[in-house]
Amino acid sequence: MNLTRDPWIPAVRSDGTRDLFSLDELFGQAHTLQDLAVKPHERIALMRLLLCITQAALDGPADEEAWESCGPVIQPRVAEYLSKWRSKFELFGDGERFLQVSNLLPGKSDDEGNPATKLDLALATGNTPILFDNAASDLRTMPGYRAALSLLTHQCFSPCGRIAVANWNGKDTPGDGSSKHAPCVPSSMVHTLLVGSSVLETMRLNLLTHEIIRDVPPRRLGRPIWEHLPACAGDTEAVENATSTYLGRLVPLSRSIRLQSDRTTIIRANGLDFPSFPSFREASATIIQRKDELGLLSASTGRSLWRQLAPITVRRKSAGDPISGPLALMHDLRSYEDRIWVGALVTGGDGKIEDVVEGSYQIPRSMLDGAGRMAYERGVHYAEASESAVIQAVKLFAGELKIRNLSHDRARQCFWTCVEQSLPALFAVARELTTDEEMPKSGWGQAVRAAALDAYRQVCPCQTPRQIQAHALGLRRLSFKTTSKSAKPKKGITHE
């Protein structure tokens, strides 16, 4: 199976129909394709591959002017590039394979290999938790298209942990049975992509110019991994390119993998180590001020991504200003429709996968400027202050009735579920630069108020006389909820 000729990438046509496409087909029809049709972590991995191929094919764009005008030449240049490097995109066979290492043998003579399903982070295999899969058997044959997408995603998102030791070209794989996070995983980092009207336009919007690449660590373009694949972990020059350059890291070799011909088992061991922030900054990540140090903006299962759009939309202005959202925001976006996609793979402290999250938002242009962004953040803080008031009201209700097990989490979930239905009103706050004083009477303020009352009423019934008295006490606390002044965001953008 060759990834340039055989279909494996799920995408959606402009008429809404879904199909699988080879790399040749995807790039050839990119101007008519509406979007990719994949899970959040797969989207990030696929976009990294598509951007890597495009940047290598263009050998650019060199500067902002070239970025503006490169759209018409992407497809013919990529067609030439894929034709030249076609042999590097084989998934099986005796020769060099895509994102797999040659001369890889099990570390133990009786080792029959790992289940191939271990490549798919969404399947329940071994210690991998169930996310989207209820099948009981590990030994399942993976179709070629699924193996290709899972291999690519696994190399980008495999979390840290214990791992087998294999023999790579005569030497043990590195790490002594321990592996670090793949490049897209540290801190459950939030990834952000600009979204265009077609797959082709989405790719163009997220290309980085050579000027931008030279402006962030490690300031080197490098070559794609398939152009300079390490022969072993001791291949210093190839490893340096793979782990410390922009193109080398886009499609990483974080695990040493060899797919077996039966498509049921694989050899899997540790691969290369990838330094994370601050040694290297992923282009799609957001850097924030976290107390006294810089850090990556993290996703969590308890905080919706729209609540974190303020730091994501910070545009980097100079080399001395590391705090910013994705590097693609550095482009001149005056004609851009301002739609962004945000997603992440959420992991626990032990590297266990918890969930995947994503969101797509049509943001107002004012959010790319300080005033609009601060107004948006004020709106988010206003909602968060209202959530706190709901919880306090619930506690008063429960305390009055001597109830110990009343669910605060249920009230919190009801509140945010209801609030999220009114996001257009929050974007209007950013567009209209709503002040603290205007917030309660704005469309957003009224929606937040309604959500708070609804959440309180769902959790705190008022049917008996005692419940009515307790309900009124909590409702009084909710009526005197935190004012807009205390909901005012801190100076600057700081998230802890």
Q: What is the tens place of the pLDDT at every residue in 45-104? A: 999 999 999 999 999 899 999 999 999 999 999 999 999 999 999 999 888 899 999 889
| Ordered structural domains, the chain, with CATH | 9-182+216-270 (no CATH), 371-479 (1.10.132.100)
pLDDT computed for residue 261 by the predictor: 81
Looking at residue 457, its amino acid is R
Phi/psi of residue 277, each to 5°? -60, 135
Distance CA 444, CA 382 (A): 9
For residue 245, give the nearest of 52, 69, 33, 456 by alpha carbon.
52
Cis amide leading into 218 (omega within 30)? yes
Asked if residue 75 lies in contact with residue 9, where contact means CB atoms within 8 angstroms, the answer is no
Lowest-confidence range among 203-217, 238-252, 391-405, 480-494?
480-494
- Mean pLDDT, rounded, for 182-208: 96
3-state secondary structure of 375: helix
Give the three-state DSSP class for 448: helix
DSSP 8-class letter at 298: B
From 119-133, 157-171, 313-327, 409-423, the region with the lowest mean pLDDT: 119-133
- Cα separation, 12 vs 16, in Å, equals 6
Residue range 14-31: average pLDDT? 96
CA angle 166, 173, 146 (to 5 degrees): 65
pTM above 0.75, yes or no: yes
Residue 126's pLDDT band (cuts 50, 70, 90): very low
Predicted pLDDT at 320: 67
Structure confidence by residue, pLDDT tens digits, 449-496: 999 999 999 999 989 999 999 999 898 888 755 444 444 444 444 433
Strands across the sheet containing 167-168: 104-105, 167-168, 171-172
**pLDDT at position 495:** 38
Q: Higher pLDDT residue, 313 or 131?
A: 313
Six token digits for residue 361? 């938002």
> For the stretch 243-271, what's the b/e string if a residue is b when 16 or more beta carbons lie within 10 angstroms of its beta carbon?
bbbbbbbbbbbbbbbbbeeebbbbbbbbb
Q: Which residues contact 287 (CB under 8 A, 6 or more apart)?
A: 277, 281, 294, 295, 296, 297, 322, 323, 324
Report whether pLDDT(356) > 90: yes
